[in-house]
Copies of this chain bind each other. A is one copy, B any other.
Amino acid sequence: MAIGEELRSGCFWRGVLAEASATFIFVGVVLGASAAPGPVAPALAGGLVAGALACTLGAPQANPALTLALLCTRKLGALHGAAGLLAQCAGAVLASTAARLALPDDASLVTRVSAAGTAGQALAWETFATFQLALAAFAAADRATPQGGLALGSAVAAGALAAGPFSGGSMNPARSMGPAIVTGIWDDHWVYWLGPVLGAVLAGLSYEFVFAPGASREKLGA
């Protein structure tokens, strides 16, 4: 389909709106739950809302790292991918602005590198947590079982619990960028783009060339 036709189709814009809404909801829920003490509440909230969204809005990615991994594995066209990325960032900024207005203080909004660790350690945890999340996302998209959404939500919560003490467990560049724009705190922000994108792209390539039911070495040269 030509780009012009795409841009005139309702289906295209509905997908873009679903990405923006899903990222808005995901980031809003995670930011709200982050105000509670302890690491369990935000991790569970993120996993639960991701599971619910996967069953609701036609399985949006709501995560720039996943969208970039889908672009790399040629599962998503350039136009859809770019529009999705913009929509995700817009949704995250909107949610962060709203959260800042609706929150008594904004100290809990930003994902930070743990004071006891280094940025390199946070990067490793973000990469690892997003790797396992993206594996679950690729498998869920591939098999299209109704179970997929709950498996995806489980992976989001598990990754947030694992990486939480070291990097805040973002696994989502949009979730980290929104609060950074709103509060102006950009410390170690590169960690939250490099880690998730690296993890998701690695997971996408691993899934496509190794773990997918129809994976084969021929695909590598395709």
| A residues with CB within 8 A of B | 10, 14, 17-18, 21, 25, 28-33, 35-45, 47-49, 51-53, 55-58, 98, 101-105, 114, 116-117, 121, 124-125, 128-129, 131-132, 135-136, 139-140, 143, 145-155, 157-159, 161-166, 206, 210-211, 213, 215-217
Contacts of A159 in B (CB 8 A): 29, 49
* Contact, CB under 8 Å: A158 / B29: yes
Number of copies: 4
A131 to B25, CA, bound (A): 9
Contacts of A116 in B (CB 8 A): 104-105
**Which 4 pairs of residues, A with B, have the shortest CB-CB distance?**
A32-B162, A55-B151, A48-B158, A45-B161
Nearest neighbor of A98 in chain B, beta-carbon distance: B124
Contacts of A213 in B (CB 8 A): 58
A163 to B34, CA, bound (A): 10
A139 to B57, CA, bound (A): 8
Nearest neighbor of A14 in chain B, beta-carbon distance: B210
Of the A-B pairs whose beta carbons lie under 8 Å apart in the complex, a sample of 6, sorted by A's number, is: A32-B129, A32-B162, A37-B38, A40-B41, A102-B121, A103-B166
Cβ of A62 to closest chain B Cβ, rounded Å: 12
- By CB atoms of chain B within 10 A, which of A38, A47, A51 has the most? A51
Residue of B31, B52, B211 touching A158 (CB-CB under 8 A): B52
Cβ of A21 to closest chain B Cβ, rounded Å: 7
Given known A-B contacts A52-B151, A57-B211, A154-B52, A132 and B32 have beta carbons under 8 A apart: no
Cβ of A98 to closest chain B Cβ, rounded Å: 7
- By CB atoms of chain B within 10 A, which of A44, A52, A164 has the most? A52
* Contact, CB under 8 Å: B124 / A104: no
Cβ of A167 to closest chain B Cβ, rounded Å: 10
Cβ of A164 to closest chain B Cβ, rounded Å: 7
A40 to B147, CA, bound (A): 24
